[in-house]
Amino acid sequence: MRNNNKIRTLEIDDFKLVTKIKQILNSQFKNSVEDIYCYGSRISKNNKDSDFDLVLVTTKNLDWKKEYQYSKIIIELGIDNNIVFDPQFISKADFKKYSFHPYIQEVINTGQIV
């Protein structure tokens, strides 16, 4: 886990769950997830009642069918753990290309990378 010093760290249970998500997706989809950024109020305010915002940085662009497959796995794990995940997907190339964008800057500056 890489740590951004501008934010609080993930709670251990959240870290384990996001790590599990990454492992399952990489197992089922051939190491397609490079990083998962956890950001938003669940991280910045340690608000366990908040939804869990995720940006999944993938090795290549995903079509809507793949995004649906990934989301289904993430949401099922969320249901099993009483968490509402809000996953967003972006390729590594687009993440770098649009790194100037305010949304990407917010994710980079306030997020925790797993």
CA–CA separation, 19 vs 36, rounded Å? 9
Residues of the chain with pLDDT under 70: 1-8, 45, 47
pLDDT for position 1 = 46
Domain spanning 12-113: CATH superfamily: Beta Polymerase, domain 2 (3.30.460.10)
pLDDT for position 55 = 98
pLDDT for position 47 = 62
**Tokens 């790590």 correspond to what residue?**
19
- Spell out the alpha helix ranges (H) of 6-63: 12-28, 41-44
pLDDT for position 7 = 45
pLDDT for position 10 = 80
What are the domain boundaries of the chain?
Answer: 12-113
Q: What is the DSSP letter of 3?
A: -
pTM of the model: 0.87
